[in-house]
Amino acid sequence: MHPVLIDLGILKIYSYGFMLALSFLVGIVIAARRAGRRGIEPDIVYDLSIILVLGAVIGSRGLYILTHRDNFSSIVDIVAIWQGGATFYGGLLLAVAGAIVYLRIKKISFFRMADIGAPSIAAGVFVTRWGCFLSGCCFGNPTSCPTGVVFPAGSPAGHYHAGVPIHPTQIYSSLYGLVIFVILILLDRKERFDGFLFAWLCILYGIARFIVDFFRFYEDSAIVAGGLTDNQMISILLILFGAVYLAVGRARPARAA
């Protein structure tokens, strides 16, 4: 669609890279403003954000490459993340791993911090997926629905489905990110046990991603079992984790406001 947001000749600002950076900025601001309610200094959020950004970028790009190997033929293709192409779960897993290590060093509850950042993650999905749409990556399968979009031939979506309307799964994903953000903010109006919001994020995102993946285009390498994608399998694990955590957490006392 519009992979290059601003072209100054010697300097190009890519739509995906810009929206990705904007999503991190929005997420950090939201988390920093929420930190005080959880007894966490905003400076901890800023320090942790560096680890999360690195983990999210490296992890999301790495998993995308593993599941879209046919799209990459050189080192330049691999590192050009500003042109689009990233998998949310890869970034989430590596970012969480980095956060666990950092928070253990700081002796801060991971789940308390996870509740702080849960709405930020949903907001990040809402913003970043518009970058995917503008770049033409993370696209859907052909459709005759009124929502179908024809992507230019030069885009990744247009390369696979030239002149054919396809599901704008990027927009579907962006919308469910916004819906999840609103739900989490509403759920956070009452004090709960640590990890409550994060568990709901896992459940809601897992369900939404599992459904949308039925409309999204994947190469054969991303299909792992029973016709399900690797991301759908991870979605199932996230849903189960969130459900079990909520069930166990009901016996825990509510956190202090």
Q: Average of pLDDT values for 49-59?
A: 86
DSSP string, 77-127: HHH-GGGS---HHHHHHHHHHHHHHHHHHHT--HHHHHHHHHHHHHHHHHH
Alpha-carbon distance of 168 to 141, in angstroms, equals 9
pLDDT of residue 192: 85
Task: Give every CB contact of residue 216 below 8 A, 6+ residues apart in sequence.
Answer: 138, 139, 140, 141, 167, 169, 229
Comparing CA positions, the residue from 243, 248, 19, 33 lying closest to residue 133 is: 19
Worst-scoring range by mean pLDDT, 12-21, 167-176, 235-244? 12-21
Look up residue 168 and give its two tokens. 């704008």
What's the DSSP call for residue 71? Answer: G
- Give how far Cα 155 sits from Cα of 2, 17, 63, 85, 158, Å: 9, 16, 21, 12, 5
Tell me the percentage of the chain whose pLDDT exceeds 90. 54
Indicate the SS3 state at residue 93.
helix
pTM of the predicted protein model: 0.84
Alpha-carbon distance of 218 to 138, in angstroms, equals 9
Indicate the SS3 state at residue 13.
strand
Tally Cβ neighbours within 10 Å of residue 169.
23
Q: Write the pLDDT tens digit of every residue in 72-107.
A: 656 656 656 555 566 777 787 888 899 999 999 999
